[in-house]
Amino acid sequence: MHRPLRLTLDRAALQHNWRWLAETAGTACGAAIKADGYGIGAREAMAALHEAGCRDFFVSNWAEAAELGDLPAGASLGVLHGVGPGDVEAALGSSARPVLNSGEQVGRWKEIAPGRPCDVMLDTGINRLGLRPDETGCLDELAIDTLMSHLACADEDHPLNATQLERFREVAAAVPATRYSLANSAGICLGRDYAFDLVRPGIAIYGGVPRREAEGHIRQVAHVEAQIVQRRTIRAGESCGYGATFVAEAETEAAILNIGYADGYLRGFSSNGSAFAGELALPVLGRVSMDLMAVRCDAAPDLKEGDWVEVDYDLPTASRQSGLSQYELLTTLGGRFERRWR
Same domain, 57 and 181: yes
Same domain, 157 and 246: no
Same domain, 235 and 275: yes
- Structurally, the chain folds into a number of domains equal to 2
Give the dihedral sign, CA 113/119/120/126. Answer: negative
Query: What type of residue is 338?
Result: E
Interatomic CA distance for residues 280 and 276, integer angstroms: 5
- Helix (H/G/I), strand (E/B), else coil: 139: helix
- Cβ count within 10 A of residue 95: 10
Per DSSP bridges, beta strands 222-234 and 198-199 are unpaired
Who's near 302: CB < 8 A, 6+ residues apart? none
Give catalytic residues, as residue numbers: 34, 242
Q: How many residues does the chain have?
A: 342
Interatomic CA distance for residues 23 and 234, integer angstroms: 52
Classify residue 3: in a domain, yes or no: no
Strand partners, 239: 247
Residue-level pLDDT at 1? 86
Asked if residues 330 and 7 have their Cβ atoms less than 8 Å apart, the reply is no
Classify residue 6: in a domain, yes or no: no
Q: Which pairs from 153-159 meet CB under 8 Å and 24+ separation?
A: 154/183, 154/184, 154/185, 154/186, 154/187, 154/189, 154/190, 154/194, 154/210, 154/211, 155/186, 155/210, 155/211
Burial of 244 (0-12, 13-18, 19+ CB in 10 A): exposed
Domain boundary residue, one of 186, 209, 232: 209
Domain boundary residue, one of 209, 232, 253: 209
pLDDT of the chain, 342 residues: tens digit per residue = 899 999 999 999 999 999 999 999 999 999 999 999 999 999 999 999 999 999 999 999 999 999 999 999 999 999 999 999 999 999 999 999 999 999 999 999 999 999 999 999 999 999 999 999 999 999 999 999 999 999 999 999 999 999 999 999 999 999 999 999 999 999 999 999 999 999 999 999 999 999 999 999 999 999 999 999 999 999 999 999 999 999 999 999 999 999 999 999 999 999 999 999 999 999 999 999 999 999 999 999 999 999 999 999 999 999 999 999 999 999 999 999 999 999
Summarised one tens digit per residue, pLDDT across range 95-148 is 999 999 999 999 999 999 999 999 999 999 999 999 999 999 999 999 999 999
Residue 240 carries which DSSP code? E
Interatomic CA distance for residues 166 and 193, integer angstroms: 10
Same domain, 200 and 231: no
Same domain, 106 and 246: no
Q: Could you tell me the pTM of the whole model?
A: 0.96
Same domain, 274 and 204: no
Q: In degrees, to the nearest 5, what angle opens at C-alpha 207 toward C-alphas 202 and 213?
A: 85
Classify residue 35: in a domain, yes or no: yes
Same domain, 195 and 240: no
Residue-range definition of the domain harbouring residue 302: 222-341
Burial of 339 (0-12, 13-18, 19+ CB in 10 A): middle
Same domain, 39 and 87: yes
Identify which of 295, 287, 292, 294 has the alpha carbon closest to the alpha carbon of residue 242: 287
Interatomic CA distance for residues 185 and 143, integer angstroms: 27
- Cβ count within 10 A of residue 305: 11
Same domain, 190 and 282: no
Share of the chain above pLDDT 90, in %: 100
Domain boundary residue, one of 178, 209, 240: 209
Same domain, 121 and 62: yes
Q: What is the CATH number of the domain that holds 100?
A: 3.20.20.10
Asked if residues 41 and 59 have their Cβ atoms less than 8 Å apart, the reply is no
Residue-level pLDDT at 39? 95
Q: What is the CATH number of the domain that holds 226?
A: 2.40.37.10
Helix axes 42-52, 11-25, angle to 10 degrees: 50
Who's near 193: CB < 8 A, 6+ residues apart? 165
